[in-house]
Amino acid sequence: MYTPIVGTLGYVLSEDRKSVLLVHRNLREDDDHLGKYNGLGGKMDNNEDVASCMKREIHEEAGIDVLEMHLKGTINWTGFGPKGEDWLGFIFLVTKFSGTVKHDCPEGTLEWVPISEIDRLPMWEGDRHFLPMIFDGDQRPFHGYMPYQNDKPLSWVFDRV
C-alpha cells in the first residue's frame, strides 16, 4: 500500500529575482541531508493543507511570512533516504515575502545563492533534474516520479500540464 509522507519544498526568490534562499544543512551530525543545500520545507501536519504547511515551514525556518507563492510542481519520491521512505512533495516558488530572513535554523545556515550558481552546490543528485523547472518561467506545473535506491535516483519522468 502506498502511504507517502506528504511534504513541501519551497524556494524563496530575492526581491531582484536573481537569488534564491537555501538552507545549507550543516548543523546536525545526525542529519540525512548533512552537507547538502536544499529549499525550505518539511512534513505536512494532519491539520493543515499544503499551502498552509509551506507558509508555516518557511516562517519556522527563515522567520519570514509568505505573501505570494506559486505551485511549481509535485514529485513522488519512492525509497528516499536511508529509511527508504516514500514522499509526495509539493514544490513552491515564493515570489513575495515580508520580514527579515534569519541567519540560520535548526537544520543549518540560510544563504542567498545566485540562481545561476545553484548547480555548483552539493545537493541531492535528483534535485538537479527538477530545479531548472522551478526557475524557467513556464507557468505549467510539473508532476514527476523519481524512485530512489541507496540515496541515488534511479530515473526521472515528468509531465507538464
Pull the grid cell for residue 82: 536511508
Structural domain count, the chain: 1
Report the pLDDT averaged over residues 113-119: 96
| pTM recorded for the entire structure | 0.95
CATH code at 61?
3.90.79.10
Return mean pLDDT, the chain: 94
Question: So what's the pLDDT on residue 34?
Answer: 75
Domain that holds residue 134: 5-160
Those residues whose C-beta lies under 8 Å from the C-beta of residue 81, and which sit 6 or more positions away, are 32, 148, 151
Pull the grid cell for residue 50: 499544503
Question: So what's the pLDDT on residue 81?
Answer: 75
Output the CA–CA distances (angstroms, integers) from residue 53 to 12, 129, 147, 160, in the order listed.
Answer: 15, 24, 24, 24
Question: So what's the pLDDT on residue 82?
Answer: 73
**Distance from C-alpha of 51 to C-alpha of 90, rounded to nearest angstrom:** 9
